[in-house]
Amino acid sequence: MKKIFILTLVICIYVQKIQAQYYSTAVGLNGAALKTALHQIIKNHNDQGWPLWSFFSSTDDINGNQIWDIYSDIPGGTPPYLYTVVTNQCGTYSQEGNCYNHEHTWPSTYFNDNQPMRTDLNHVFPTDGWVNNKRSNFPYGNVTSVTWTSSNGSTLGTSNTYAGYTDKVFEPIDSFKGDLARVYFYMSTRYESEDAGWQNWVMANGAVLTTSAINLLLTWHHNDPVSQKELDRNEAVFTIQGNRNPFIDHPEYADCIWGAGDCSSLSIKKISWENSIQLLPNPSTANLHIQIGNEIHLFSVQVKNMVGTTLQTCSSNSLDISSLPVGNYVLSLATDKGLVHKLFTKN
């Protein structure tokens, strides 16, 4: 355990240094300037060509040889079906559960199926073929009148999300709304000024998000913080195509570009607020309290072992860790200012 603990610390420090260097030219910027700086950082990724079947085992693996499908998975519950890598790729389908397909979360219709957008893994996910077809190229939105529901609870129907729009929208379950919001922030940033010929639709004019889409996506972004799944996928995509989704690494960037956030002194602020979060007592034998300032809103807490397995999840700043074996653990805190990792010891 001690060796794993030390190795994890080394990896965490290394990743933090790499990310700090990766985003160094964006430090101190805000608004449109920040978005443009991020575009310069993440543009010109390594296009892997079509199709993308061979990459999904790295980007969307769950349980070793199964595909993580955001349109069928039920985090914390039992999914209606599971897909085996390669074996269950589409093919033909006549109902849910037949096979998994490529889902362009930003519909390829609106960028005319062109490269490199078509093969950008940051927005192409493996999803059930039938549900993928049902979603079609409808925008994401909050469904008010349901016409169809998938096995995991995703819905299709009418909505008042977009003024004057009367066609259907697709609403994923709450656990994946933030994932998709951060995908859209990525797409708008990655293809800034590279959207000649893109179509306008209710979610965007070219690659520029509409006001209605921004309002929806920021809400989804705040209500569904970055998950371990997203962090792992971001690393896998980076390894494959050489660019990252900045809004997974730095969730605060979304508010600093499209909301009321201020990233002009981010480096100083981030050090300050991360250091203000304390775990008491640490080490602990039974109860662990998260001391956090009033200016920081805590969304969720995950207790992980040193190999990244989630052992406990809650939304409180007080945890009962009495059932944990003696050893070292990581506490992942999802806050309105970003994701923080703290180490603690159970005695």
For residue 14, the model assigns a pLDDT of 42
Class in CATH terms, 266-346:
mainly beta
For residue 6, the model assigns a pLDDT of 40
For residue 309, the model assigns a pLDDT of 80
For residue 344, the model assigns a pLDDT of 84
- Rounded Cα–Cα distance for residues 115 and 108 (Å): 10
| Sequence-ordered list of residues with C-beta below 8 angstroms from that of 15, at least 6 positions apart, any chain | none
Q: Which two tokens stand for residue 178?
A: 């933030």
Give me the residue spans of the domains in the chain. 27-258, 266-346
Mean pLDDT by groups of 10 residues along the chain of 347 residues: 42 50 90 97 96 96 92 92 96 96 98 97 98 98 98 97 97 97 98 97 98 97 90 94 95 94 74 75 90 83 80 89 88 83 83
For residue 306, the model assigns a pLDDT of 67
Nearest to 96 by CA among 129, 125, 68: 129
The CA–CA distances, whole Å, from 333 to 19, 156, 276, 317 equal: 19, 32, 13, 10
Q: Tell me: the pLDDT tens digits for 179-233?
A: 999 999 999 999 999 999 999 999 999 999 999 999 999 999 999 988 889 988 9
For residue 5, the model assigns a pLDDT of 40
